[in-house]
A = this chain, B = another copy of it.
Amino acid sequence: MPEIETDSGAFAPPGGAPPAKIPKAVIKRLSRYSRVLQELELKGVEKASSRDLAEALGVNSAQVRKDLTYFGQFGIPGVGYYVRELRAQIKRILRTDREVRVALVGVGNLGSALMSYGGFQRQNFRIVAAFDSAPAKIGRMQNGAPVLDIARLQEELRSRAVDIVILATPGEAAQIVCDLTVKAGIKAILNFVPTRLTAPPDVAVHDVDLSIEMESLAFYLR
């Protein structure tokens, strides 16, 4: 039984054991394992060793094993991991074994883009609503989701049982929307606005900053 710490970003194992602190990087890799396992399953592969998985991801095999043991023992010495089973376990751990309901705030260029992007739907994520403040946009349907008045954000997030909010507002609005979102009980935010957001420690905020990605790439131009 591993040492237990209580901290934000905690994970409660299925057995009901106390939560252990899991590095964010481990969770990201878990999600990558999930994708590789999906591909293997589609190919009809039944077993995979930590070495196989490591190669597919470009990481060290010890890391694969260590990552997985944060959550339990899923492998069989001398054999490896059963692809189907491990995949199911990881999906359960990540909570993507069911539909995840997503709302998007800010139906501008990037927001619209993200709504039409098919990549989310594919993985059991469903954008159930969008929000904006522009009267011209409110009331329309976009990619199967209604565009609602930002003024009704809190009640709509609640009544539509939204799990995750995508922020794609102008910079000035981001913190305000973030606060409202948190008040509505949302625990996970995907932030595309290049603003540092302040949120309580029990709310997970993932920042995706396209400008930073681009600008830091320029450094590598010889």
Shortest beta-carbon distance from A189 to chain B in Å: 8
Size category of the A interface is 35 or more
Interface 9-mer from A61-69, A113-121, A152-160, A173-181: A113-121
Q: Check A57–B196 contact: CB distance below 8 A.
A: yes
A187 within 8 A of B: yes
- Residues A206-222 near B (CB distance < 8 A): 206, 208, 210-222
Q: Is A163 a contact partner of B100 (Cβ separation < 8 A)?
A: no
What are the residues of chain B within 8 A of A109 when measuring CB–CB?
113, 116-118
Binding site for B on A (CB under 8 A): 9, 11, 24, 27-28, 30-32, 34-35, 56-58, 93-96, 100, 102, 109-110, 112-114, 116-120, 122-123, 125, 163-164, 187-190, 194, 196, 203-204, 206, 208, 210-222
- What number of copies of this chain does the assembly contain? 2
Q: Give CA–CA (A221, B202) in the complex, Å.
A: 10
Smallest Cβ-Cβ distance to A118: which chain B residue: B109
Known: A113-B112, A113-B116, A113-B117. A188 touches B217 (CB 8 A): yes
What is the distance, in angstroms, from A133's C-beta to the closest C-beta of chain B?
18
* Given known contacts A109-B116, A113-B117, A219 and B94 CB-to-CB distance under 8 angstroms: yes
